[in-house]
A and B are shown apart, each in its own frame.
Chain A
Amino acid sequence: MRLKALLFLLCIVTACGNRQELPVAPILGYASLKTPPKEYIAGEPIVLEFQESGFDRPLHLLLTNAFGNVVLKGTKSKKFTNYHFPKPFYRVAGKCRWKLLYCGRTIKEGSLDIRPDVSVQPGLETYFGPRSLTAGDSDFSMLVVVPTDQYDNPLPDGTITRVRAQFQDSITEVEVPTTDFIAWNNILSRRQAGRILVGAYCQETDTKELTTIVNPALSEDFKIAVERNHDFADGNQIVRFHSDIIKDPYGNSISDGTLVEFMITDSKGGLLKTMGTTVNGIAKASMLHPSQAEDWKVTAFITGAAKSNTLRVLFKPAISDFSVNFSPDSRHVHIGPLQSFMGQQVPDGIMVRLDIMNADGKQLEQKRASSKKGTTSFYLPKTYFTAGSYRIKVSVAGLAKTFQIQLDEHEIE
Chain B
Amino acid sequence: MERTNILLILALIIALIFHGSAIFFTLESTYDALIHLFFADHYAKSWFEPWDYRWYTGFTVQSYPPLVHQAIGLLSYIGGLKFGMFTVGLIAIILFVTGAYRFSFLMVGNRRIAGYGALLAVFSSTFVETLHIFGQLPSIVGLSVLMHALPEIYLWIKTGKYRYLLSSLSMIAVTVTSHHVTPIFGMVFFIFPLIGMVVMDTAREQVTTMKQVTFMVFFRAFKRLFWRIVGFGMASLFLIITCILPYWYNSKRNPITQVPIPHGSRDNFLEVTSSGLVFFMIPWGILLFLLPYIFYRYYSKRYLFFGLSFSMLTLLGTGGTTPIPRALLGETAFNILTLDRFTLWATIMALPIFGEFAYRMVEGDLKDKIQSTFGGVYHRILGGLLAGGLLFMVIFTMTLGYFRPSQPAKIKMLPIVNFLNQDSHDAWRYLPLGFGDQMAWLSAQTNAMTVDGNYHSARRLPELTTRAIERIENSKFRGVAGIGSLQQFLTVPEKYNLKYIFSNDKFYDPILYFCGWQRLQQLENGIMVWEKLNVPPLPAIMPKEDVPVFLKIMWGIIPILTVLVAFFINIQMLWIHMLKAKQKKPPSYTERAISYSGFSGRLITISHVWSLVVLTCICFGIYSFYIHNSAQHSPLNVVKAYYNALDFKMFEEAHSLIDPNSEIDLAQYMLEVSVTDGILSSYAKMDSIGVELLEETPTAAKAKVNTVWITPLEKLQKEEVVEMVRLGGEWYLKPSKFDNDIPPDQLFTANGTTFYNHGRRKITTQQTHHEDVLQQPVLEILSAKLVNFEGHYCVIGELQNVDNVPADVVIKATLYNEKDIELANHNAKYLIKHKLMPKETTPFRINFEGIAWSSTKDTLPPTFDPDQFTPVDLSEQPLKFNIQAAGNVANTDLYKAVALQELQLANGSYQGTLYNSGIQEVTIPQLLVSYYNADHELLWVDHQFLTEGVRVQRKQYFEYEPLDLLELETIHSGTENCFVNGLPNAAISAKLFPTRNRTHVQEQVQPYSGQGFSFLKFHLNSYIGNPK
Binding site for B on A (CB under 8 A): 127, 129-132, 134, 210, 215-216, 218, 236-238, 255-259, 261, 263, 266, 268-279, 284-288, 290-291, 299, 301-305, 307, 347-349, 369-372, 381, 383
Query: Contacts A255-B838, A257-B838, A258-B838; is A273 near B744 (CB within 8 Å)?
Result: no
Q: Which residues of chain B come closer than 8 Å to A291, judged between CB atoms?
A: 902
Q: How far is the CB of B573 from chain A (nearest CB, A)?
A: 56
For A303, the chain B residues whose CB sits under 8 A away are: 800, 839-841, 1000-1001, 1004
Check A287–B804 contact: CB distance below 8 A. no
Partner of B800, one of A237, A304, A371: A304
Question: For the complex, is B741 an interface residue (Cβ under 8 Å from A)?
Answer: yes
Which residue on B lies nearest to A291, using beta carbons?
A: B902
B902 x A131 contact (CB < 8 A): no
Q: In the complex the two chains form, what is the Cα distance from A347 to B741 in whole Å?
A: 8
Q: Looking at the complex, which one of A257, A272, A301, A381 makes contact with B1000 (CB distance below 8 Å)?
A: A301
Q: How far is the CB of A300 from chain B (nearest CB, A)?
A: 11
What CA separation (Å) do A370 and B904 show in the bound complex?
19
Nearest B residue to A193, CB-CB: B804
Kindly list chain B residues whose C-beta atoms are within 8 Å of the C-beta of A348. Answer: 740-742
Q: Using A274-B915, A286-B917, A301-B1004 as known contacts, list a sample of 20 further A-B pairs with CB atoms less than 8 Å apart, ordered by residue number in A.
A: A127-B770, A132-B775, A132-B804, A236-B743, A257-B804, A257-B837, A258-B804, A259-B840, A270-B902, A270-B912, A271-B1017, A276-B896, A279-B752, A285-B917, A287-B915, A288-B899, A304-B998, A305-B993, A347-B742, A347-B744
Q: Say yes or no for B751: interface residue by CB 8 A criterion.
A: yes
A288 touches B903 (CB 8 A): no
Q: Is B337 an interface residue (CB 8 A)?
A: no
A372 to B896, CA, bound (A): 30
B1000 & A271 in contact (Cβ 8 Å cutoff) = no
Q: Are B804 and A255 neighbours in the complex by a CB distance under 8 Å?
A: yes
With A257-B805, A301-B1000 known to touch, is A287 a contact of B917 (CB < 8 Å)? yes
Complex CA–CA separation, A71 to B894 (angstroms):
62
B207 touches A (CB below 8 Å): no
A237-B744, A307-B997, A369-B737 as given contacts; A275 in contact with B897, CB under 8 Å? yes
What is the 8 Å Cβ interface bit string for chain B, positions 887-922, against chain A (1 contact, 0 not)? 000000010111111111100000010010100000
Q: Does B766 contact A (CB under 8 A)?
A: no
User: Does B69 have its Cβ within 8 Å of any Cβ on chain A?
Assistant: no
A274, B751: Cβ atoms closer than 8 Å: no
Query: Does B36 count as interface, using CB distance less than 8 angstroms?
Result: no
A301→B745 CA distance, assembly (Å): 28
Contacts of A305 in B (CB 8 A): 839, 993, 995-997
Contact B993 A256 (CB under 8 A): no
Top 8 A-B residue pairs of the complex, sorted by shortest distance between their CB atoms:
A349-B741, A274-B899, A255-B804, A270-B903, A257-B753, A259-B837, A271-B1006, A259-B840
> With A238-B917, A288-B915, A303-B1001 in contact, is A272–B702 under 8 Å at CB?
no
Given A275-B899, A383-B702, do A304 and B1000 touch, yes or no (CB 8 Å)?
A: yes
In the complex, what's the smallest C-beta–C-beta distance from B954 to chain A, in angstroms? 9
Residue interface mask B812-850, A partner, CB < 8 A = 1: 000000000000000000000000111111000000000
- CB under 8 Å from chain A, chain B span 723-772: 737, 739-745, 751-753, 755, 770-771
- Alpha-carbon distance between A191 and B901 when the two chains are bound, in angstroms: 40
Known A302-B839, A304-B800; judge A371-B740 contact (CB<8 A).
yes
Interface size on B, residues (CB 8 A): 61
Q: B20 interface residue, CB < 8 Å from A? A: no
Q: How far is the CB of A348 from chain B (nearest CB, A)?
A: 4
8 contacts between A and B (CB under 8 A): A257-B804, A259-B838, A270-B905, A270-B1006, A271-B1017, A275-B899, A305-B839, A307-B1003
Check B899 against A287 for contact (C-beta < 8 Å).
Answer: yes
What residues of B have a CB within 8 angstroms of the CB of A274 in the complex?
899-900, 915, 917
Residues of A within 8 A of B955 (CB): 288
Asked if B1005 lies at the interface with its beta carbon under 8 angstroms from chain A, I say yes
| Interface presence of B790 (CB below 8 A) | no
Contact yes or no, A307 B902, CB < 8 A:
no
How many Å lie between the Cα of A129 and that of B898 in the bound state?
37
B675 CB-CB contact with A under 8 Å: no
Residues of B within 8 A of A269 (CB): 1007
* B876 lies within 8 A of chain A by Cβ: no
Q: B694 interface residue, CB < 8 Å from A?
A: yes
Q: Does B806 make an interface contact (CB < 8 A)?
A: yes
Contacts of B997 in A (CB 8 A): 304-305, 307
What does DSSP make chain A's interface, helix, strand, loop or mixed?
Answer: strand
The yes or no answer to B992 lying at the interface (CB within 8 A) is yes
Contact residues in A for B800 (Cβ distance below 8 Å)? 303-304
Residues in A with CB closer than 8 Å to B1017 are: 271
Query: B293 contacts the other chain (Cβ, under 8 Å)?
Result: no
- Pair B804/A273 contact, Cβ less than 8 Å: no
Nearest-neighbour CB distance to chain A for B696, whole angstroms, equals: 11
Tell me if B935 counts as interface (CB < 8 A to partner A): no
Of B740, B782, B805, B900, which is within 8 A of A272 by CB? B900
Closest CB of chain B to A179's CB: distance in Å? 24
Residues of B within 8 A of A238 (CB): 744-745, 917, 953
Residues of B within 8 A of A127 (CB): 770
Tell me the nearest residue of chain B to A307, going by C-beta. B1000
Contact yes or no, B1003 A299, CB < 8 A: yes
Interface residues of B in 444-459 (CB under 8 A from A): none
Cα distance, A259 to B806, chains bound together (Å): 10
A359 to chain B, nearest CB (A): 20
Q: How far is the CA of A284 from the CA of B897 in the complex (A)?
A: 10
Report if A258-B901 is in contact (Cβ < 8 Å); known contacts: A238-B917, A301-B1000, A301-B1004.
no
Tell me which of A131, A258, A266 contacts B775 (CB under 8 A). Answer: A131
Residues in A with CB closer than 8 Å to B915 are: 274, 287-288
With contacts A257-B806, A259-B896, A273-B899 taken as known, whether A370 is within 8 angstroms of B695 at the C-beta atoms is: no
Which residues from B are CB-within-8-Å of A371? 740
Q: Which residue of B695, B837, B894, B1018 is within 8 Å of A273 (Cβ)?
A: B1018
B837 and A272: CB pair below 8 A? no
Instruction: Quote the shortest CB–CB distance from A274 to chain B (angstroms).
Output: 3
Name the distance in Å between A403's Cβ and chain B's nearest Cβ.
21
Expressed in whole angstroms, the Cα–Cα distance for A286 and B904 within the complex equals 20
Q: Which one of B740, B744, B752, B1004 contacts A263 once the chains associate, using CB atoms below 8 Å?
A: B1004
Task: Check if A370 sits within 8 Å of B902, measured CB to CB.
Answer: no
B1004 near A256 (CB under 8 angstroms)? no
Residue of B nearest to A212 (CB): B775
Q: Once the chains are docked, how many angstroms separate the CA of A369 from the CA of B755? A: 41
A148 to B30, CA, bound (A): 64
- Report the nearest B residue to A289, measured CB to CB: B744
Q: Report chain B residues within 8 Å CB of A299.
A: 1003
Question: Which B residues are CB-close (under 8 A) to A255?
Answer: 804-805, 838
Interface residue ranges of B761-805 to A (CB < 8 Å): 770-771, 775, 782, 800, 804-805
Partner of A349, one of B742, B753, B775, B1007: B742
Please state if A277 and B741 are interface contacts (CB–CB under 8 Å). Answer: no
Which residues of A sit under 8 angstroms from B752, Cβ to Cβ? 277, 279
B-side contacts of A131, CB under 8 Å: 775
Taking the closest CB of chain A, its distance from the CB of B769, in whole angstroms, is 11
